[in-house]
Amino acid sequence: MTRTRFALVASSLTLTAVLAACSGMPSMPMAHMATPYSQDMLPDPVKVPAGHRVAWETVGVGEITYECRAKANMADAFEWVFVGPMAALKSRGGETLGRYFGPPATWAANDGSALTGTQVAVAPAMAGSIPLQLVKANPAMGSGALTGVSYIQRVATRGGVAPAMPCAAGSTGKREIVQYQADYIFWKPV
């Protein structure tokens, strides 16, 4: 075998070995690839106004607590009332970047920056999921990722709605925790 032919065969075998090794590796889902976030498919009420850019994308994974309470001004009527959320804010790759909790609704980054906000609008999500939401951010406390954020969108919601079990006089004060997930998109002025 000539030296050139030997080198070609060796290179081919090395490439084959590398490809075989890689074939056993899990492939990265398309959702985790670096694609720019687009709000084109969102309902108009929860779209961020022009003149803003995405500054931070997170995936909130956690729970929402509800409590069975008497309805205001309605004798013998009861309902599940939202008490508050608790969620980890993660990167698309799963790294924990901060947390979300309330009330009041507070987003806190691991770098020490945090902010609260006021709901501007909501829009229906798929059945069984909390609504999509647009929040106007208050000025951030501390310095970091949340400094200068003007809006927060809650999109791609899954779960989180009030419990399906009955809420009645005998269960007043009972709390139930439901799991949820949502993307929180943070926007800053351009």
In this predicted model, what pLDDT tens digit does every residue of 97-114 receive, in sequence order? 999 999 999 999 999 999
Considering just the CA atoms, what is the radius of gyration of the chain in Å?
A: 24
* Measured CA angle at 112 (ends 108, 117), to 5 deg: 35
Structure confidence at residue 21 (pLDDT): 36
Which segment of 28-32, 46-50, 121-125 scores lowest on mean pLDDT? 28-32
Alpha-carbon torsion (11, 14, 20, 25), positive or negative: negative
AA identity, residue 31: A
- Residue 31's pLDDT band (cuts 50, 70, 90): very low
User: For the whole model, what pTM was predicted?
Assistant: 0.79
In this predicted model, what pLDDT tens digit does every residue of 128-172 receive, in sequence order? 999 999 999 999 999 999 999 999 999 999 999 999 999 999 999
The answer to whether 132 touches 153, Cβ cutoff 8 Å, is: yes
- Residue 34's pLDDT band (cuts 50, 70, 90): low
Instruction: Name, in order, each residue with C-beta under 8 angstroms of 137's C-beta and a sequence gap of 6 or more.
Output: 115, 116, 117, 146, 149, 150, 151, 152, 186
* Distance, CA of 145 to CA of 78 (rounded, Å): 41
Structure confidence at residue 42 (pLDDT): 96
For the cut 60, the answer to whether the pLDDT of residue 7 exceeds it is no
In this predicted model, what pLDDT tens digit does every residue of 55-103 receive, in sequence order? 999 999 999 999 999 998 887 899 999 999 999 999 999 999 999 999 9
Structure confidence at residue 75 (pLDDT): 77
* Distance, CA of 149 to CA of 70 (rounded, Å): 37
The residue with greater pLDDT, 1 or 66, is: 66
Structure confidence at residue 11 (pLDDT): 37
